[in-house]
Structure 1
Amino acid sequence: MIEIVETGPFNTVQDLGRPGYRDIGVSASGAMDPLAMRIGNILVGNEEGAAGIEVQTFPFSLRFGRRTVFAVTGADGDPILDRLELLPWCAYTAEAGQVLELKHPPTLARAYVSIGGGLDVPSVMGSRSTSLRGSFGGNAGRPFVKGDRIALGDCANFAPVPANGLAVIEPAVALRDVFPDLVDGALPVRALPGGEHALFPNDGDAFWSQTWKISSRSDRTGYRLSGEPIKPTASVEMRSHGIVPGVIQVPPGGEPIVQMSDANTAGGYPKIAGVIECDLWRLGQARIGSRLRFLRSTHAEARAVEQAVARYVEDVRTTSEMVKRALKAMA
């Protein structure tokens, strides 16, 4: 059991989402930074898709009701356990009664708390993720409030972690050759031309060449971008079509919307581009007011990035399991 001691709005239970139900109008939901959630779960010995906590409003704190293993991944900034600063991207053991605190991170948007055994909330359509728009899943379909108590899954057979923690190199550092740095303060986001890209003049130059800003009207459903409006060459009446996270639509006002984890399941706005899947975690860590530049990518590049991320995750899993086996043998 854990108890929520302090929280802001929109902090929720998430896992890797509930794909497969978009045809009946149910979005996948899931972590905005799925890579951080996967690594956190590996560090504490869970399956990658175990339910954890997504924190996007700070400060946040919880009290552990039993001895367990936990890790904080995602946002930069040091988690605090009973006033002792710890490393992020590192698994530790917490004792019953200890309090974990997360303060506002310096630059990134979201932190993830993974706990041994995962959060034991009901599974709805194969997922424990919270759907805020549908008011189901997770913690009774709503964000956390102070005093909430959440059960944990069984972690009796999990291997211990070293007394000084079990850490990994965060993906932004380990994969710096794969994910480009900020350019003049703007986050580069790779995307492929979308289904209606040809409707925009000069091969979509106005979209690809300018710097966009994430508007305050953004949320887990979509990031609305502010910039010089872009318009198709002619008005086109379109039927609604399926939408997935990463799709970039252009409404009549000309300022694009990037669909995110709680993406609409269908929409009729022209699709100028789609963010490659492996860049979505970086976009999920971008704050309101952040600046973006879209880089025109290729399917081959998207596949190469996917393979690099897969190698990183597998290396984390292999190393973590090796350390835990060694600790078991020593016990």
Structure 2
Amino acid sequence: MITILETSALNTVQDLGRPGYRNLGVGTSGVMDALALRVGNILLGNPVDDACIELQTYPFVLRFDAPASLAVTGIDAAIEIDGRTILPWMVETVAAGQVLRVGPPKTGARGYICIAGGIEVPVVLGSRSTQLRGGFGGLDGRPLEAGDTLQTTGATLDVSGYGALPPAAVLDTVACGDDAKVIHLRAMPATDYELFTPESRQRLWDTPWRITPQSNRVGYRLSGAPLELHHRVELRSYGVIAGIVQVPPAGEPIVQLADANTVGGYPRIATVIEADLWRLAQARIGTRIRFHECSFAEGVAAMRPVDAYLDDLRMMVDRYRTSARCRAGIRSGDRA
């Protein structure tokens, strides 16, 4: 079991989400940065969809009331166990009574505390994810609060001290130019792309859009020169998924994210490809982003390096743990 000692708003229990219920009006939810959760669960030998704690605000402090192995992924931040600094993206094992503190990130926006064996909260519609708008899942359908306790399996790994290179250090993206502070995202023209004027279509790709404070897990509202339609249109409602870029009447885009509505009716100008959604999830309020046009085939192909990165990580973890167990067995045999 773990006990939350300090937390700010909107930190929740999440897993990879609950697909398959959008026809009932239930959004997918789940972590914003699915790649960071997958990495954490691979490092710990967990099933890929085990639940974690998603951090959006800091500092966050918890106490382990039983031994545990853990990894903090998604961000580069000041992370401490009983005042001892540990690295992100690394596996650590703690004893009962030890305290983990995660400070504000130096890079990235959302951190993920992954624990061996996952976090045990009730499964609702096939997922442990918190659905804040519906008030279900996670811990009573709400953000975590100081004093909350979460059940864990108490599992610990026989080896620790290994980790992963962050995805940003491994996965290539589109050319970044000279401004490293701009996040570059590949996107495909969407169904209603041709409804926009040629000038607006070009502006979509040329504008460094700023993420406004009116942004959350539902979607990022972007600030920039408005995008204009050839003429006003009335669209039938359609299904919405993470990555769709909608344009409301004011002309400033909204990128739908993990807690997106199940249906929408604003014109769709583009869709951020799945391979780049984790980059968007780690963008902070005020950050500027640039869209770069890609084809459907290029969007599908962009997932191959992501899958290869995860496959290589699984192989590394398996080899490291096997090697460490062999070394431990040799040392034990020498003592005998």
Aligned residue number for residue 260 of structure 1 = 257
Aligned residue number for residue 206 of structure 1 = 203
CA distance 1:129–1:7, shift in 2 (3 Å): same
Q: Report the more deviating stretch, 189-198 or 179-188.
A: 179-188
CA positional deviation for 1:180: 4.7
- AA in 1 matched with 2:9: P
Residues 194-239 of structure 1: CA distance to partner in whole angstroms, max 9, x if unpaired? 0000001117112111111001000000000011111111111111
CA positional deviation for 1:179: 5.6
Which whole-Å CA distance do the structure 2 matches of 1:303 and 1:277 have between them? 8
Residues 11-53 of structure 1: CA distance to partner in whole angstroms, max 9, x if unpaired? 0000111111111110100111110010011111111110000
Aligned residue number for residue 161 of structure 1 = 159
- AA in 2 matched with 1:160: D
Q: Which has the larger radius of gyration?
A: 2
Which whole-Å CA distance do the structure 2 matches of 1:79 and 1:166 have between them? 16
Which whole-Å CA distance do the structure 2 matches of 1:104 and 1:182 have between them? 28
Which whole-Å CA distance do the structure 2 matches of 1:285 and 1:145 have between them? 23
Aligned residue number for residue 20 of structure 2 = 20
Aligned residue number for residue 34 of structure 1 = 34
Aligned residue number for residue 96 of structure 2 = 96
Aligned residue number for residue 182 of structure 2 = 186
- Residue 284 of structure 2 is aligned to residue 277 of structure 1: no
Which whole-Å CA distance do the structure 2 matches of 1:52 and 1:180 have between them? 33
Q: Report the more deviating stretch, 181-190 or 109-118.
A: 181-190
Residues 80-109 of structure 1: CA distance to partner in whole angstroms, max 9, x if unpaired? 111111111000101111101000012321
| 3-state SS of paired residue (1:308) | helix
Aligned residue number for residue 166 of structure 2 = 170
Unpaired runs of 5+ residues, structure 1, are none
Aligned residue number for residue 56 of structure 2 = 56
Which whole-Å CA distance do the structure 1 matches of 2:124 and 2:38 have between them? 20
Which whole-Å CA distance do the structure 1 matches of 2:192 and 2:296 have between them? 17
What does 1:278-317 align with in structure 2 at a 5 Å threshold?
278-317=275-314
Preserved contact between residue 159 and residue 327 of structure 1 (Cα < 8 Å): no
- Residue 144 of structure 2 is aligned to residue 144 of structure 1: yes
Q: Report the more deviating stretch, 183-192 or 216-225.
A: 183-192
What does 1:62-73 align with in structure 2 at a 5 Å threshold?
62-73=62-73
Which whole-Å CA distance do the structure 1 matches of 2:17 and 2:154 have between them? 21
CA distance 1:178–1:225, shift in 2 (3 Å): closer
CA distance 1:178–1:211, shift in 2 (3 Å): closer
Alignment RMSD (CA, Å): 1.3
Residues 247-298 of structure 1: CA distance to partner in whole angstroms, max 9, x if unpaired? 0000001010000000110010000000000100000000011001100011
CA distance 1:182–1:131, shift in 2 (3 Å): farther
Which whole-Å CA distance do the structure 2 matches of 1:269 and 1:313 have between them? 36
Which whole-Å CA distance do the structure 2 matches of 1:212 and 1:139 have between them? 35
Preserved contact between residue 182 and residue 188 of structure 1 (Cα < 8 Å): no
What does 1:239-254 align with in structure 2 at a 5 Å threshold?
239-254=236-251
- AA in 2 matched with 1:120: E
| 3-state SS of paired residue (2:221) | strand
Preserved contact between residue 172 and residue 179 of structure 1 (Cα < 8 Å): no
CA distance 1:153–1:183, shift in 2 (3 Å): farther
Aligned residue number for residue 222 of structure 2 = 225
- AA in 1 matched with 2:74: G
Which whole-Å CA distance do the structure 1 matches of 2:247 and 2:144 have between them? 33
CA positional deviation for 1:161: 2.1
Which whole-Å CA distance do the structure 2 matches of 1:196 and 1:263 have between them? 19
Which whole-Å CA distance do the structure 1 matches of 2:246 and 2:77 have between them? 33
Aligned residue number for residue 332 of structure 2 = none
Aligned residue number for residue 83 of structure 2 = 83
CA positional deviation for 1:244: 0.3
Preserved contact between residue 173 and residue 184 of structure 2 (Cα < 8 Å): no
- AA in 2 matched with 1:213: R
Which whole-Å CA distance do the structure 2 matches of 1:304 and 1:219 have between them? 29
- AA in 2 matched with 1:212: W
Which whole-Å CA distance do the structure 2 matches of 1:314 and 1:183 have between them? 32
CA distance 1:234–1:181, shift in 2 (3 Å): same
Q: Report the more deviating stretch, 314-323 or 12-21.
A: 314-323
What count of residue pairs does the alignment treat as equivalent? Answer: 326
| 3-state SS of paired residue (1:106) | strand
Preserved contact between residue 204 and residue 227 of structure 2 (Cα < 8 Å): yes
CA distance 1:27–1:180, shift in 2 (3 Å): farther
| 3-state SS of paired residue (1:42) | helix
| 3-state SS of paired residue (1:105) | strand
Preserved contact between residue 193 and residue 272 of structure 1 (Cα < 8 Å): yes
Which whole-Å CA distance do the structure 1 matches of 2:248 and 2:300 have between them? 29
Which whole-Å CA distance do the structure 1 matches of 2:175 and 2:69 have between them? 33
| 3-state SS of paired residue (2:120) | coil
